[in-house]
Structure formats: structure tokens, C-alpha cells
Amino acid sequence: MIIYVDDLGYGDLSCYGATQIETPHLDQLAKEGIRFTNGHSTSATCTPSRYGLLTGEYPWRKEGTGVLPGDAALIIPEGISTLPVLFQRAGYRTGVVGKWHLGLGKTVEKDWNKEISPGPKERGFDYSFIFPATADRVPTVFMENGRVLGLDPSDPILVDYEKKVGTEPTGEENPELLKMKATANHGHNNTIVNGIGRIGYMSGGTKARWTDEEVPLTFLQKAKDFMGAERDRPFLLFYSLTEPHVPRMPSTYFKGKSGLGYRGDVILQMDWAVGEIRKELEHLGLSKNTLIIFTSDNGPVVNDGYQDEAVVRQNGHLPSGPFRGGKYSAFEGGTRVPFIVAWPGKVKPAVSDALVSQIDLISSFSSFLGQPLAAADAPDSQNLLPTFLGKSDKGRQVLVQQGGALALVKDNWKYIEPNKGVALNKLTNTETGNSDVPQLYDLGTDKGETRNLAPEYPQKVKEMAQLLQQLKVAGRSR
């Protein structure tokens, strides 16, 4: 079971050092499993990280793998062995429940009122219960096995990312209708659904639209249903939660619980959901038989477009922990995320400092399942199975990290490629790691990336720049 959360930072869990928030269920999971301190998402945003996780290919090798609009076409190519395909070959039933954000269908133009393919099914998931993109993007609907749930032929769904469709109010025209105001210039001022302005326009599908307060409960129940239905067969569940991505809109029970505003509240809700999943495993008699991986698709962001008090109620909480930057950043905060592997009775509890990435799961499970990958598949994934199972403390020697700029980590040295982008994302107040000069950090003595050593170590910079270049050109690193 892969539990994949959205925009959770290294410092957001008490088992990773948070002091202003307590996450008992994840602390317990970490206590029973391996807590990786140098575990990474492939990239500092969602779509590319998910692409990397499922394909084992660095997303920056491929055009069109950036954050996708809600009407994008599917970006995972046909004919490759994705992570769930390997499980299918090994006789597992595979399901995805939660956020998808990898596109659907062949083109942007699509009829949301009919079955849409290709999608999760055509790329290896026998069962899917998803929302198409992100919680802040239309269409704000659930889809089960390729179809929008709750379709009404007399109220067809239209989606457009360029121009307004239908006559419903938008956040821009009618801000007085909003229950949670958008932050200026982030773009969450198009169609209003459930009192929240979204990115993109939609009309119709009134009965199909979700209520944000219920989204996590719906995903939790569908995840449990899948586990229950498959209890007698081996299964892979990719449980992909929306928390704590914007818009943060906790269920009533969690509103105000953390004291850190809705961002903290939805982190508590996510932690609770992990506890519920574990209880369900126990109830089904599967807890000793299930390997759980918990991790996040990118680092944290505090203001990502809504006035939800995350900024003013931070209360000393450090979402990136000791690291610099966060979501969107090439600094460690962008991709160094919570990463826990637990398998009661099989994996010995430990803390591991090995350098590991989500991109390595596919090769590692290829080995676990005895299902070989074709030479062209998962080119950037490394088999770290012994490390994930606690039989080795060796991680990767080399990892390419993707913020806006690319960075290379090798033996605790980190090199960030010169880049023309802005150094500060003013919208989110994130240090992006961009600089027009090369940066070199010694993560061994300076994990906060505060001292650029490039001027002192020109030879090291050259060596790292060359290696990164080689990795780019070679087109594969497995």
C-alpha cells in the first residue's frame, strides 16, 4: 500500500521533529517501520513526482510533465511497464483511490459525460476512484473507473481552462459569494464550487460536484472498500490523499483542532485517516501481511492561493523542518519529504539516512515481485529493495532533484544548476533555489543550504556540472 499525500513537508509530522502539531498515527507507523531522513519525491510539484513514481523516468526528460490543468490529456505513455502493471503481472489486483493529476483521455477536448479513456485503467489500475487533477481545479467531481460519479444527462458537464462556460458566478466577478477568499494573483478566481473559487471554468454536473469537507472521508471509505473487496487476493492500493493541498477545508470534526489554521487541521485529518486505514487492515486480518509506504509528492507551501490563515497561524511551526525552500524549490525543502516504510514483523524498525527517491520504488518492486523490467522501462529507477526493507543502509550515490532548476546530489555534495528563474516565488514566498550562478552546498555540514561553496570549489562544481550533463544526455541512469 502506497499512501501518498499532497504537499506535506519534512517538518509537518511530529516524528520528523514538528513541535507545534502532533501526528500520533504516523508517529506510530514510523516507530514500527523505517523512517527515512533523506527520502525524496522526484520533483517539487505534483504531476512530475507522480509521473516519476509510476514510470521510473525522470519527468524532466519528457515535455509536458509540469503541473497539469484539470482538462489535460493523459501523459503516461502507452506500452510501458508502470508500477501497477508490474503488480498486475505478478497477480495482484491494483487500485488507485484519490488524487490523480496525470491527465485523462487522448486530448484536452473531451466529453466529461461519457467514459474517458485512456486513464488509470489503461495504465495498470484495475480499479480507480479519483478526482482528475487537484482539489483547486475543475472539474470538482469524482470519477470511478473512467466515469464521473453522479452524472445527470439533463445537466451535462462542460470544462474549459481558457474561457468561462455557463452562467455561474466566478470568484473574480462575485467574491462576496466565497466562504474562503482567494489570495490575489494565484488564479483561484474562476468557477465557484462549494463557496470556493477554483482554477478553470466548469458548468453543469451540479449533483456530481464534491463538497470539500467530505472529500477525504469519501476517499478513505473507497480505500477501505477496495481493501475489503480484495482481502483474499494480493493487492496494491495507491491511496493518494489530497491533504494538505489547497483548498484546505477540513471536515467539521477537525476544524480548529490544530490551532494552526486549516492547514494544520487537515494534517491532523490525514494522520487520522492513516490510523483508520491501519485499523481496517487489522480488522481484515491483513496488518502483518501489508507493506505500507507513506510519503508526500512534494515539499510544503503555506500560502498556495487561499486566505486560510495558514500564514498567520503558523505559530512557530516549520513545515520544511530544518531545510530551505519548499514546494516549487530546488532546495532540499522541495523534495525531501517524510518517507516511511513499515511492514510489521518483516521490516525491523529503524531510522535510515540512506538517500532514496520515490523514483526507485518501481525497480525495487520489480525485484520484490520477480517481474523484470524491459531495458527501456523505468530508466532512472534504482533497485533499493534491501534498503527499503532495512537489510542495507546504502542508498543512491547520485540523485537528480527537480525544482524549477535541476540539482544533483552526490556524496552529500549538492549542486544546483544556474537558472534564469526568479530566486523568490513572490506568490508563495518560497525560495526557489534559482540563481544565475552555480550553487554548491555541503549537505553534510550545512543541510540548510546556507553557504554557497561554489566559488571555493570550482573543480567540484565542474565535476558535478559534467555529471549532471552526462545524466541528461545519456537519457537513462539505471
Please, where are the H alpha helices in 75-211?
83-89
Residue 297 in contact with Ca ion, rule: CB under 5 A: yes
For ligand NG6, the closer of residues 159 and 384 by Cβ is 159
For Ca ion, the closer of residues 47 and 435 by Cβ is 47
For ligand NG6, the closer of residues 387 and 432 by Cβ is 432
Cβ contact 426:405 at 8 Å:
no
Contact pattern from residue 30 through residue 49 relative to ligand NG6, giving x for each residue in contact according to CB under 6 A and a dash for the rest: ---------------xx---
Q: How far apart are the first and last CA of the chain?
A: 24
Residue 46 in contact with Ca ion, rule: CB under 5 A: yes
Which has the closest alpha carbon to 435: 426, 424, 427, 443? 424
CA distances from 359 to 52, 53, 380, 400 (A): 5, 5, 7, 11
Distance CA 233, CA 187 (A): 45
**122-141: contacts with ligand NG6 (CB under 6 A):** 134, 136
Question: Using the rule CB under 5 A, which residue among 298, 320, 425, 432 binds Ca ion?
Answer: 298
Contact pattern from residue 136 through residue 175 relative to ligand NG6, giving x for each residue in contact according to CB under 6 A and a dash for the rest: x---------------------------------------
For Ca ion, the closer of residues 183 and 382 by Cβ is 183
Q: Which does 181 bind (CB under 5 to 8 A by kind): ligand NG6, Ca ion, none?
A: none
Residue 168 in contact with Ca ion, rule: CB under 5 A: no
Cβ contact 343:1 at 8 Å:
no
Residue 329 in contact with ligand NG6, rule: CB under 6 A: no
Please give the helix or strand (H or E) that residue 442 lies within, else none. strand 439-442
The size of the chain, in residues, is 478
CB of 42 to ligand NG6, least distance (A): 12
Q: Which does 67 bind (CB under 5 to 8 A by kind): ligand NG6, Ca ion, none?
A: ligand NG6
Distance CA 46, CA 67 (A): 6
Distance CA 146, CA 446 (A): 47
Residue 93 in contact with ligand NG6, rule: CB under 6 A: no
How much is the CA Rg of the chain, to the nearest whole Å?
A: 21
Q: Any idea which residue has 518517507 for its cell?
A: 339
Question: Using the rule CB under 6 A, which residue among 61, 164, 181, 186 binds ligand NG6?
Answer: 186
CB of 359 to ligand NG6, least distance (A): 17
For Ca ion, the closer of residues 203 and 298 by Cβ is 298
Residue 301 in contact with Ca ion, rule: CB under 5 A: no
Distance CA 397, CA 167 (A): 55
DSSP per-residue string spanning 244-258: TSSS----GGGTTSS
Distance CA 424, CA 326 (A): 11
Distance CA 272, CA 1 (A): 17
Residue 319 in contact with ligand NG6, rule: CB under 6 A: no
Interface residues with ligand NG6 (CB under 6 A)?
6-7, 45-46, 67, 101, 134, 136, 186-187, 199, 245-246, 298, 304-305, 427
